[in-house]
Amino acid sequence: EVSEITERSRRNVAHGLAWSYYVGYLKIVLPRIKKSLEEFSRANPSRLLRRQTWKLHILIPLNCDISDDLEKADSNIQYLTDLTETTLTRGGTKNRVYKHSLYAIRDEDGEPWQCVLEFATPLQSLYAMSQDTCAAFSREERLEQAKLFYRTLEEILQGSKECRGTYRLIAYQAAAEAEPHFLTREILWHLRQQCQEEYALGDATLDANPPSSLGTTELNLQISQEELPLPLRSDCF
């Protein structure tokens, strides 16, 4: 009965998407990301200069609007190349290929910051559900589910020993008005923060929150800690 109520209210959608994303993808690729970056760095010693950012940076837009082409989403993002592919046999598919793309993010001075970057693709499902009359997913429900997806994924990854230190989640609210380099600003904040953390772990003056990104503390206030998820608040945004 509890399961049926939860299914009808669609409160388990984000939870299931987060676990599926982790088990079916992140748990496979994240433990290999450092090796791929090390191989690339040896072959291109002048390209990857900031070792602190040698992680998979996962973009989580809370409006679930994902662009397939990052260069079109922000002209300050430039595709460089793909890292070495990982080939595995999964689910009956022989030689399934997993790969990541390396990008250069140009800052205000035109300096490039290289990083491995991609969107959290399960958010496309949440967006599609909000556009499909059969799912009847409202904009408010989509926002709540996106927050729950982020919080659940963060908890899963924090408990995963094999994924430790291999990722950076970048959750953000899209700007109210169109900004041509909004995405660049969000990414650069996280890249710089990783470099600062390396040398200033005890610095109390370090800015803990980017201008528009969402921290764990803020999301904790909006997501129920009960065993059965409850309706979430979205009126704080």
For residue 138, give every residue at least 6 positions away whose Cβ sits within 8 Å of its Cβ, in sequence order, or none. Answer: 130
- Closest by alpha carbon to 40, among 54, 27, 29? 54
- pLDDT value of residue 2: 44
In a domain? residue 79? yes
For the segment 73-83, what is each residue's pLDDT rounded down to a tens digit? 999 999 999 99
Mean pLDDT in residue range 5-22:
75
For residue 33, give every residue at least 6 positions away whose Cβ sits within 8 Å of its Cβ, in sequence order, or none. Answer: 54, 55, 56, 83, 100, 116, 166, 167
pLDDT class of 34 with cuts at 50, 70, 90: very high
Is 214 or 18 the better-scoring residue by pLDDT? Answer: 18
pLDDT reading at 234 higher than 90: no
- Closest by alpha carbon to 189, among 218, 220, 150, 215? 215
Place of tokens 């600062």: 196
- pLDDT value of residue 17: 94
In a domain? residue 4? no
Lowest-confidence region among 27-41, 149-163, 196-210: 196-210
- pLDDT value of residue 197: 76
Residue type, 98: Y
- pLDDT value of residue 212: 59
Q: CA 126: distance to chain centroid?
A: 15
In a domain? residue 147? yes
Helices (H), the chain: 2-9, 13-21, 27-43, 70-73, 122-131, 139-158, 182-199, 216-220
The Cβ of residue 63 has, within 10 Å, a number of other Cβ atoms equal to 16
- Closest by alpha carbon to 78, among 103, 46, 107? 103
For the segment 115-153, what is each residue's pLDDT rounded down to a tens digit? 999 999 999 988 888 887 776 678 888 899 999 999 999
In a domain? residue 7? no
For the segment 204-213, what is each residue's pLDDT rounded down to a tens digit? 444 445 555 5
In a domain? residue 1? no
Mean pLDDT in residue range 219-225:
45
- Residues 180, 222, 60, 68: is their CA dihedral positive or negative? negative
Is 104 or 237 the better-scoring residue by pLDDT? Answer: 104
In a domain? residue 165? yes
For the segment 181-199, what is each residue's pLDDT rounded down to a tens digit? 999 999 999 999 998 875 5
Query: Domain total for the chain?
Result: 1
pLDDT reading at 89 higher than 70: yes
For the segment 95-107, what is each residue's pLDDT rounded down to a tens digit? 889 999 999 999 9
Q: Could you tell me the residue range of the domain that residue 117 belongs to? A: 15-200
- pLDDT value of residue 198: 58
CATH of residue 89: 3.40.50.12100
- pLDDT value of residue 5: 44
In a domain? residue 209? no
Read off the DSSP letter of residue 175: P
Enter the pTM of the model: 0.80
* Beta strands at 77-82 and 101-106: parallel, antiparallel or unpaired: antiparallel
Q: Is 41:48 a contact under the CB 8 Å cutoff?
A: yes
| CA–CA gap between residue 17 and residue 106 (Å, rounded) | 32
In a domain? residue 2? no
